[in-house]
């Protein structure tokens, strides 16, 4: 059994909590542990914040697209922006790297995503946008699909 959802919203910082809550509500059907739910909410928050701040440089005319698929006890998340893209992905994924040191960001977003998820992938084309793909298998086998 599987399920999916897709949501697109304006690249406004106030929509970060909307994205996090929407994904959390959708994955509730898998009956995640508190830790699993917290990790998913955190990676969604990090990816959406990156899209807004780095992808669009807080230009609210852009949009962020989230696709979420549930299959058995697995979640697959895709978070996409159509903004600036990343010139050097290898550099960007290094812990503590930030392209905006003036914003007091820690540069840990990609590191957090990579550590909390089973699969982490970035595809980016400068001036066309960035897609972050994340996958995780939930350890709690009490989902609505079993």
Q: Which residues are catalytic?
A: 46, 50, 105
CA-nearest of 66, 55, 49, 29 to 109 is: 49
Exposure of 70 by Cβ count < 10 A (0-12 exposed, 13-18 middle, 19+ buried)?
A: buried
As given in the structure block, the two tokens for residue 5 are 């959802």
Q: Is the dihedral of CA 67, 51, 139, 144 positive or negative?
A: negative
Rounded Cα–Cα distance for residues 27 and 4 (Å): 10
Which residues, at least 6 apart from 16, have a Cβ–Cβ distance to it below 8 Å? 45, 48, 49, 52
């Amino acid at each position: 059994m599987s399920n999916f959802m897709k949501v697109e919203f304006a690249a406004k910082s106030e929509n970060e909590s909307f994205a996090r809550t929407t994904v959390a509500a959708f994955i509730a059907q898998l009956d995640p542990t508190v830790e699993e739910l917290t990790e998913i909410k955190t990676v969604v928050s990090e990816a959406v914040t990156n899209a807004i701040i780095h992808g669009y440089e807080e230009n609210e005319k852009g949009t962020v697209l989230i696709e979420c698929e549930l299959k058995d006890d697995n979640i697959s998340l895709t978070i996409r922006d159509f903004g600036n893209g990343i010139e050097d992905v290898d550099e960007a994924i290094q812990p503590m790297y930030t392209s905006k040191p003036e914003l007091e960001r820690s540069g840990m977003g990609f590191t957090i995503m990579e550590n909390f998820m089973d699969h982490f992938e970035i595809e980016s084309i400068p001036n066309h946008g960035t897609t972050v793909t994340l996958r995780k298998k939930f350890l709690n086998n009490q989902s609505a699909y079993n």
